[in-house]
Structures are given as structure tokens and as C-alpha cells.
Amino acid sequence: MKKTAKRILAMILMLLLAMSVMACGKKESGDENETKGTQKGFAIQIDGVTIRLGEQAEKTLTALRTPLSQNELFDCGAGNSRMLYRYASFDLYTMKSGETEVIDQIEVKDDFCETEKGLCIGAEESAVVAAYGEATRKGEGSLTYVSGNQELTFDVENGQVVGIGLLRVTQ
């Protein structure tokens, strides 16, 4: 397996582990982004649809049409579950609590998706910094930007974006 593929696989596994720990956690009271969507943060755009974390998923899922597959990843009990909707260019994760399903995470697979600032896989690292400024966290091969309860991560190799992930962090 190439070094890049191993790095991407390791990051995906770390994100899945972090999500599984956070997903069954307690929702803090007063988290307006849970049901009203987000006023700040980041977005991913695909085929004319803007996807924002924390928004109710029904309208977005309808606009995106039929996914290639959809699976319940786990059930935390009491009606809380995490769903994965796979599309050709991205994976969309939702958190369902009772009848409410909200967008929780997006993992971009190719250059067909872009951030609200027009960046996609293949963009230069310098373009990311020009669009978003200095990263909140900079790791080996990644730039992470934080806004409220959202993290936008660009995986970078040889000065070029090779992956984009958007995650809603809950406690």
C-alpha cells in the first residue's frame, strides 16, 4: 500500500474512532445548531447543493437524490443512531435522535466536491492558507480549521490537498 493510502486510511480510522466516542455522548443543552442549522462554520458544495453541518438532513438528502448505499453504523440506544450515506464523490454521516436527523460529517473523495471557498482535492496548500488563513492546528500532512463546533481538515501531501473532511464536534 502506498504511503499516501496508508496515511488516508489511518486518518479515516482515527476519525471513525473519535466519532464513535463522541456520538453516544451527552448533548449539551442549548445547542441551537442541533435543529436550526449553523449560522457559522464551513460548508461543502456539490452539484449545486450546499451541505452544512448541524442542519436537518431531510432537505439535503432529498436534494442529493439517491445515495449509492446507506447504512446504520451503530445505535446508541434511546433512538439515537449514526447513519452513513455513500455517494460517488463523498460520504455523508448523520446523527439521528428520535425523529430528528442532522448532518454530522462529510468526507470528500474527489475533486467533484468543493468547500464554500472553492477548494477541492488537488488544490495547492498555499491556496488553502490564502482562503482560510493560518490553520488552527497543523499536523504532519494536515491543516485543521475550527469554527464553533466544526472542524474542517485538509489532508496535504507534497503541497497538494489529497483529502477534505468536515466534522461536527459534540460533547
Spatial separation of the C-alpha atoms in residues 106 and 84, rounded to whole Å = 10
Name which of 47, 78, 69 is nearest 60 in CA terms: 47
CATH number for the domain harbouring residue 140: 2.60.460
What does the angle CA 142 – CA 144 – CA 148 come to, to the nearest 5 degrees?
165
pTM value > 0.85: no
Q: Would residue 34 count as lying in a domain?
A: no
Residues 6 or more apart whose Cβ sits within 8 Å of residue 58: 101
Domain that holds residue 64: 3-24+40-168
Q: Provide the pLDDT for residue 1.
A: 53
Q: Would residue 137 count as lying in a domain?
A: yes
Answer for the pair 49, 114: CB distance below 8 angstroms, yes or no.
Answer: no
The tens-digit pLDDT sequence of the chain (171 residues) is: 556 655 665 555 555 444 444 444 433 333 333 333 334 789 999 989 999 999 999 999 999 989 999 998 887 665 688 999 999 999 999 998 778 999 999 999 999 999 999 999 999 999 999 999 999 999 999 999 999 999 999 999 999 999 999 999 876
Q: Provide the pLDDT for residue 96.
A: 85
Counting the structural domains of the chain, the total is 1
Q: Would residue 79 count as lying in a domain?
A: yes
Spatial separation of the C-alpha atoms in residues 42 and 154, rounded to whole Å = 13
Q: Would residue 29 count as lying in a domain?
A: no
Q: Provide the pLDDT for residue 3.
A: 62
